[in-house]
Amino acid sequence: MANNFKEPSVDEINQVMQQAQTAFEAYQKTSVEEKSVFLETIANEIEALGEDLLQKASEETNLPLPRLAGERARTTGQLRMFAGMLREGSWVEATIDTALPDRTPLPKPDLRKMLVPLGPVVVFGASNFPFAYSTAGGDTASALAGGCSVVVKAHPAHAETSEMVYSAIKKAIAACNMPEHIFQHVHGTSFESGRALVQADDTAAVGFTGSTAGGLALLQYSSQRKKPIPVFSEMGSTNPVVFLPDTLNKNAAELAALYTGSITLGMGQFCTNPGLMLAVESESVHNFINLLGDGIEGVKPAKMLHAGIHAAYQKKSAAALEQVGVTEINRSATEASDIEASPVVATVSGEAFLQNPLLHEEVFGPYSLMVICHDEAELIKVLKSVSGQLTTTVMGTDNDFANHAALLQLLPSIAGRVLFNGVPTGVEVCASMVHGGPFPATTDSRFTAVGINSVKRWVRPVCFQNCPDNLLPLALQQGNPLGIWRLFDGDWKK
């Protein structure tokens, strides 16, 4: 196995998950403040790894140090964000309806509801984000904040980086006197190890970021269990961008420069890369495409994350460009070598796009296809034909927005995030962010993988009826010892 890490047996994985269940039960006895300090200590220990961590990640992923430094900051920042969420407390959605014993014809019982953790969570590290979507990334941070234990399967493309982050988490566990197995780390490249993690009796939920095939496989493993569990997979997305006519007439050069940068950012290795562009046939569309092609021509190829992703990009981009009706506009003028990706943009008519499902598929890398439609009705038909997306973007002037109400009304049904006059690459980590979308962008469009609401994936509501006050969780006790906002008999109160 690569990196000399041992492939675990099914028995070893079952033992890991049993340890995770024991740790989960012990973790329920820790206070809000203890959990908050634990998350902050993980962030501190990751930062204490210094440049050595960045260098190792760069060696394994070919990502530049500045990009990795920013991603590490995002990772530690979201750990601290969840610590703040815990202290604020309202995330548990404490809801109290007090008893009405004299109500007729039947008395009303005392009812109190809040969110409680599911249990051990298995997280599959992502290849394209060695920090933010991997060992101590958003899935891990949100699951620990929600009160769950976590088992991470390291991505083999950056296994040693993952080991270094694991060492930081182990230090935080010891420093904060947390249950020893509240976080565990395994390796594995076989389908069998992934299946065993999902199907272990003690696994309560799964988080995954990666390919559609990988996410659907995990979902299938879950469905084969005696007791199916939720699988939250973030999968493929082409992130369609609609360019409206007035802005193309007025801002073609600026738009071309903006989208040259977005398409080639990180060699297109973002789940929010704008892989699909749409516009209605006009002279200004062709002007924009030519300007975009000129921009793409000047972008030098760079190494992709690993040979597997490079091979997939080569295969899928070549297959797309070979389709009937697809015209390559331009590609990088610099010849690519080794596992470098050559940026490329192409066009196709709306009619040809609608007739060819292959063109609807994500090409993961610095590739984008402009669909030129006969009219707005065909453009809307094209938008409706694409599967669920993480993002959709509309570029337009105020005049454009006033004249295309039907189009704008459609956009929220397509994606989890609707952008106006920007680029989809770049995901802000905050309470309002939604990083999810209709299938197959994710397996459950009701949830986000980014921001404080990502914790909702790992919890479920429980109602306590006529429970003695001293036996209630602190968040539901009458005196509100945590001092959190609660919906109390229909009014928000502290």
DSSP label of 371: E
Nearest to 196 by CA among 471, 406, 8: 8
- Indicate the SS3 state at residue 419: strand
- Indicate the SS3 state at residue 364: coil
Angle between helix 159-175 and 50-61 (nearest 10): 150
Sheet strands side by side (includes 241-243): 327-331, 344-349, 367-373, 276-280, 241-243, 389-395, 415-420
Contacts of 74 (CB under 8 A, 6+ apart): 131, 132, 429
How is residue 105 written in tokens?
């014809």
- The whole-angstrom separation of Cα 276 and Cα 240 is 5
For 167-206, b where at least 16 C-beta lie within 10 A, e where not — what string?
ebbbbbbeebebbebbbbbbbbbeeebbbbbbbbebbbbb
Q: Largest alpha-carbon pair distance within the chain?
A: 82
- The whole-angstrom separation of Cα 451 and Cα 162 is 22
Cis peptide before 357, with omega less than 30 degrees from 0? Answer: no
Question: Helix/strand/coil (H, E, C) string of 40-72?
Answer: HHHHHHHHHCHHHHHHHHHHHHCCCHHHHHHHH
- Enzyme catalytic residues: 234, 271
Q: Quick check: 57 and 158 in contact, CB under 8 A?
A: yes
